[in-house]
Amino acid sequence: MNTPSALFVDLYELTMAQVYYDRGMTGDAVFELTVRELPKNWDYLIAAGLERALMFLETLRFSDEDLAHLQSLPQFDRRFIDQLREFRFSGEVWAPPEGTIVYPGEPLIQVMAPLPEAQIVETAMINQIAYPTLVASKAARAVDAAAGRPVIEFGGRRAHGSEAAIEASRATYIAGFEATSSVEAGRRYGIPTTGTMAHSFILAEDDEASAFEAFVSRYPATTLLVDTFDTATGVNNAIKIAKKYGQGSVGAIRLDSGDLRAEAWQARIKLDTTGLPDVRIVASGGLDEYQIAGLVEANAPIDVYACGTSIVAPPDASTLDSAYKIVEYDGRPVAKRSPGKPSIGHRKQVWRADDHDLVGRFGEPPSADAEALLRPMMVSGQRTTHGQETLELIRRRAGVARGPRRVLIDPSLID
């Protein structure tokens, strides 16, 4: 699993770090990554992306090539280059485990390290955590909307590059999706892979019935795509082939366009009346959680929902509004007061009680029933066992009842 290179950094992090070293400002700093506001209509977030962030920190080294490039820039002197040659992330990281339900203002990651170390990793921390958290949270909304019906992901082509595609598959699986179409995500993360057929397959064959037969004779429980020419005819062709090849040959049909509720009903009735009640109906085609909820409410006989674009690059939230901010330096709390974008000082802990969360000071729990959400994921630059969980465990953690929650801020944080 490749993590970003050590040069995956904004220039200013390095110029700041050089000044920190020059001035001996290597005291411990605490930085926290938090989401400022939820996208419209969202009630919660699902934390994701921590694993790659921790791996980045654990393996972060400036290679000779990295250093040669930095030396070619005007900003850096020999001494700093030598410091980077020895650079290791030596700090401590606390975070809610992946799959935890979290809310704005609650740290997604908390980095405690000598100031230059905590500063240099800023871009990578935001970049590696914000996107998986965005996708897991959006995907959870689709799972919630589907109300128990399986949802699968096939958005790889729509994601912003191949890394995004693969991490999106992982994030959707955490949120409760059943499978992905991505073979690489399946290999890397052990996610079940699934697939149907493309319109091109039918077009290359030209005759839809022959194309169906070619697939059904090759793969058991095939899913047939029925809308290339005319959906009603497509369903008829699928039924013909299912009859010819017998039970279990056709596992499902897929509808990818048109009025999905009407098409699904017409198909369901035909399938049932021709003795094929076990053939399932898969729906796709730009589906998001709102459309899924609408179809579920309208009682559309759809057994599986397949999502792509809306989940891997959510149109209603192209990013999460997040920030990685210093909250303590050398034992004192710090906060900025920029108009509209203030930050809150102090190293924090999130205390989860039955009916609310309290974002409070790190340390003793405010009450006996309060659970600390942030756990030690890394100590002295090494991952703890908390930071090395199986994907199945993470997925189970996310599979709790999900919804809005009252989040209180300890007033003593705001000096």
Could you say which residues in the range 176-215 bind a second copy, by CB under 8 A? 181-184, 186-187, 193-206, 214-215
Q: Between 128 and 352, whose beta carbon lies closer to a second copy?
A: 128
3-state secondary structure at position 141 = helix
Q: Find the part of the chain contacting a second copy (CB under 8 A) among 12-20, 88-96, 104-112, 141-149.
A: 12-20
Nearest-approach distance from CB 400 to a second copy, in angstroms: 26
Q: Find the part of the chain contacting a second copy (CB under 8 A) among 236-244, 251-259, 356-364, 382-390.
A: 251-259
Can residue 19 be called a binding residue for a second copy (CB under 8 A)?
yes
Q: Between 150 and 365, whose beta carbon lies closer to a second copy?
A: 150
The 83-122 site mask, x for binding a second copy (CB under 8 A), equals: --------------------------------x---x--x
Q: Between 69 and 356, whose beta carbon lies closer to a second copy?
A: 69
One of 257, 273, 299, 380 touching a second copy (CB under 8 A)? 257
The residue whose two tokens read 């959707």 is: 172
The span from the CA of 22 to the CA of 17, in Å, is 8
Can residue 12 be called a binding residue for a second copy (CB under 8 A)?
yes
Total site size for a second copy, rule CB under 8 A: 102
The span from the CA of 199 to the CA of 256, in Å, is 10
| Interface of this chain with a second copy, residues 345 to 404, rule: CB under 8 A | none
The span from the CA of 302 to the CA of 296, in Å, is 8
* Sign of the alpha-carbon dihedral angle for 72, 77, 82, 84: negative
- Partnered with residue 33 across adjacent β-strands are 109, 324
Q: Between 189 and 351, whose beta carbon lies closer to a second copy?
A: 189
DSSP 259: -
Nearest-approach distance from CB 346 to a second copy, in angstroms: 13
| Interface of this chain with a second copy, residues 223 to 242, rule: CB under 8 A | 227-231
The span from the CA of 296 to the CA of 303, in Å, is 10
Nearest-approach distance from CB 10 to a second copy, in angstroms: 4
DSSP 411: G
Say if residues 6 and 63 touch (Cβ distance below 8 Å): yes
3-state secondary structure at position 132 = helix
Q: How far is CA 69 from each of CA 17, 144, 338, 369, 414, rounded to the nearest angstrom?
A: 17, 48, 35, 53, 43
One of 1, 64, 148, 337 touching a second copy (CB under 8 A)? 337
Q: Which helix (H) or strand (E) holds 299?
A: none
